[in-house]
Amino acid sequence: MLNQIKVENLLFVDIETVSGNAVFEELSPKLQELWEKKSDYFRKEEESPSDVYGRAGIYAEFGKIVCISTGLVTKKNGEKRFVAKSYYGDDEKQLLEEFALMLDRFSSKPNRNLCAHNGKEFDFPYIARRMLINGVVLPGVLDIAGKKPWEVQFLDTMELWKFGDYKHYTSLALLCEIFGIPTPKDDIDGSMVGKVYWQDNDLERIAVYCEKDILATAQVFLRYQGEDLIPETNFERVLL
pLDDT for residue 154 is more than 80: yes
pLDDT for residue 240 is more than 60: no
CB-facing half-sphere around the CA of 228: CA atoms within 13 A: 9
Answer whether 8's CB lies under 8 Å from 202's CB.
no
Q: How would residue 78 be classed by pLDDT, with cut points 50, 70 and 90?
A: confident
Beta bridge partners of 10: 113
pLDDT of residue 185: 63
pLDDT of residue 4: 85
pLDDT, mean of residues 175-183: 92
Q: How would residue 120 be classed by pLDDT, with cut points 50, 70 and 90?
A: very high
Three-state secondary structure call for residue 73:
strand
Task: Among 78-82, 90-94, 152-156, name the most confident range.
Answer: 90-94
Closest CA to 121 of 53, 168, 190: 168
Core vs surface per residue 28-38: b (16+ CB within 10 A) or e: eeebeeebeeb
Entry pTM: 0.94
How many whole angstroms separate alpha carbon 231 and alpha carbon 39? 43
